[in-house]
A and B are shown apart, each in its own frame.
Chain A
Amino acid sequence: MATAAVTAPPQSRPRKSVAFWRDGDQITHLVTLLFAASVFLVTVLLVFELWLHSGPSRAKFGFSFLTGKTWDPVAEQFGALPFIYGTVLTSFLALLISVPLGVGAAIFLAELAPPRLSNVCTFLVELLAAVPSVILGLLAIFTLVPMMRQYIEPFLKHTLGALPLFQGPAYGVGYLTAGLILAIMTFPFIISISREALLTVPREQREAALALGATKWESTWQVVVPYDRLGIIGSIFLALARALGETMAVTMVIGNDTGIHTSLLSPGYTIAAIIANEFTEATGDVYLSALVELGLVLFALTMVLNAAAQLLIVATTGKGSKQP
């Protein structure tokens, strides 16, 4: 993905020869342009449809939809805030765990591990990335949730219970468990893509660093990783996108409560989860369109978070680590 942009700079060689059609370049150009345009088209169509079908809800609630805290299908009062909160919080928790874990593992597999071990691990990681989320959700219900309830959550309450983040009864389901399952789902992506990206770093870069007297760690951390910043960040974006939109596994372990809670142990809800839960049985125009509008909110949220992350990268990029 992101690596493709790094390794393959655009090679446009305009040829104004007579053999216009014999030269495949023009045709390729046209066909690939069409394919690329389809991405744009699908996105526009998606937003248009979401906008269209969320009409009744937008008309009724306006901007208060984004700040409303009630979700009451009986009274037809709908507010998106608990779901936005839950989506952002669980995705943040997921990345908090999966980014260090994933990037660390990728560095080990690409830089330090013996090739045979690296190959086995990579195979396993790709296997893990392909596990359907409903399977992970079921596994979470039967293993992760009881573990959280019996050991981890009581431990957190015992040690960090003074913080508002770790209070309330230990149900085993909630924001933290959802964040954990999302971390498990996203870190194979981060490992897999980051590793591929790290492997594309030219050998000379490493050798130059080593020749200057850097240790293996210094060469990895100060030369290789910055060189491949974009690939790693690309993997994190993909992980974020997956975390924001993940549905089945999350709804199985988050507790599906429409409140907003500070404690990570409390049950909550995410946008994708409530759409999946309530869409099939939603009757009434406002109700249905409120669910569609949630889809629109999720779309906007994804864009805002991605844009924020891009800005963060631009802002934190030092001049010494510019991409060649």
Chain B
Amino acid sequence: MKKRILWTVLLAAAGTMAASAETINAAGATFPAPIYQKWFENFHKAHPDIQINYQAIGSGGGIRQLIEGTVDFGASDMPMTDDQLSKVTRYKVLHFPTVLGGIVPTYNVPGAASLNFSGATLAGIYLGNIKKWNDPALKKDNPSANLPNEDITVVHRSDGSGTSFVFSDYLAKVSPEWKSKVGVNASVNWPVGLGGKGNEGVAGLVKQTPFSIGYVELIYAVQNKMEYGSLKNAAGNFVKADFNTVSDAAAGAAQDMPADFRVSINNAPGKNAYPISTFTWLLIPDKIADATKKKSIIDFLQFMLTTGQADAQGLSYAPLPKSIVAKEQKQLALIK
């Protein structure tokens, strides 16, 4: 009896191994992981012989594994730096934007409903220069709001994350002081504030601490029905983040999109562009020796740029503007 069970198990294992003729391994960013999983699943349904395994280990981890060559492709919320690209010698890495996300300021100020922030004010708060909610800078952004004379408790992410990377990149763009004092990275030396782990950690701290401010991903705020503020964009309008304004930011940045797609679309031009928006990228080698693998990956990218984009909004991501999709389809030819 025992033996029979053993054989059944062994045969079943062999069966599953035979069924997945082509296994592709990928690793990287956590922020787009839900939609990637859905895409890989749908793609597998359409192409039962191709199985893509995705490990959501974080953008930095994805880049590291790609450099070490332990995955077939990577995924990241931040474009690879020149330094990182120079470490990959066997091939060049192509950046393929997949979807867009936004980052929103969330706060807990009893009595104040919807608040506006200009970039300089937000940077001032996170630098510790603006300490009170009734600071003149905040009053100027919100002339009609009832702002209390209370200390601001600043909350930031404690874990290294693409979200912090994009947020600090935005602050560096709108504040020279932030750029020189703190800089841009997945984790930085925060001048003030409490660290919360993950979106849920930041949201939890903000929710519980009166007179606090934090930042979370747009999809997290939408899914949890959180209140969040509007930001002043490069055109001088206060814009509230949603899928349209985030897509507008990408469209605004599309005109001077560099050929390799390594671009920050923070503070993008455009009347309705939401200023803290970002692409998230797949990092694809431009030389793939294995012909079947190459075809599978190109097929997947084609699927992601066309059918896949329709899944974006259902999962609260902003889809790519058409102009970007067209440019990426041209880049597909570079995979040799």
When the two chains form their complex, are residues A256 and B208 in contact, meaning their CB atoms are under 8 A apart?
Answer: no
Given A73-B186, A141-B204; 12 other pairs, CB 8 A cutoff:
A73-B188, A141-B208, A169-B153, A171-B194, A171-B209, A251-B158, A277-B160, A280-B60, A281-B159, A283-B81, A283-B186, A284-B83
A interface, size bucket: 20 to 34
Choose one: A74, A149, A169, A280; the contact of B208 (CB below 8 Å). A149
Residues in B with CB closer than 8 Å to A146 are: 208
CA distance A278 to B188 in the complex (A): 10
Structural contact, A281 and B183, CB atoms closer than 8 A: no
A82 nearest CB across to chain B (Å)? 11
**A interface list, Cβ under 8 A from B:** 70-75, 141-142, 145-146, 149, 169, 171-173, 251-252, 255-258, 267, 269, 273, 276-284, 288
Find out whether the CB atom of B189 lies under 8 angstroms from the CB atom of A282: no
Shortest Cβ distance from residue B14 to the other chain A in the assembled complex, whole angstroms: 33
Does chain A have a CB within 8 A of B197?
yes
Is the C-beta of B20 less than 8 angstroms from some C-beta in chain A? no
What are 16 of the A-B contact pairs (CB < 8 Å)?
A72-B188, A74-B184, A74-B185, A145-B208, A252-B197, A255-B194, A256-B195, A273-B158, A277-B187, A277-B195, A277-B197, A279-B160, A281-B61, A281-B162, A282-B60, A283-B84
State the Cβ distance, B246 to closest chain A Cβ, in Å: 22
Name which residue of chain B comes closest to A256, CB basis.
B195
Given known A173-B194, A277-B160, contact A283–B63 (CB-CB < 8 A): yes
- Which positions 148-205 of chain B face chain A at CB distance < 8 Å? 151, 153, 158-162, 182-190, 193-197, 201, 204-205
A273–B158 Cα distance when bound, in Å, is 9
B204 contact set on A, CB distance < 8 A: 141-142
Chain A: minimal CB distance from B190 (Å)? 8
Residue total for B at the interface (Cβ-Cβ under 8 A): 36
Kindly state the separation between the CA atoms of A224 and B161 in the bound complex, as whole angstroms: 53
Contact A74 B183 (CB under 8 A): yes
Interface members, chain B 60-86 (any A CB < 8 Å): 60-61, 63-64, 81, 83-84
A267 to B155, CA, bound (A): 11
Chain B residues whose C-beta falls within 8 Å of the C-beta of A278 in the assembled complex? 159-160, 186-187
Convert B201-232 into 0s and 1s, putting 1 for each residue whose CB lies closer than 8 angstroms to a CB of A: 10011001100000000000000000000000
- State whether the Cβ of B247 lies closer than 8 Å to any Cβ in chain A: no
Nearest 9 pairs between A and B by C-beta?
A: A256-B195, A281-B160, A280-B58, A74-B183, A256-B158, A281-B60, A72-B189, A281-B186, A277-B159
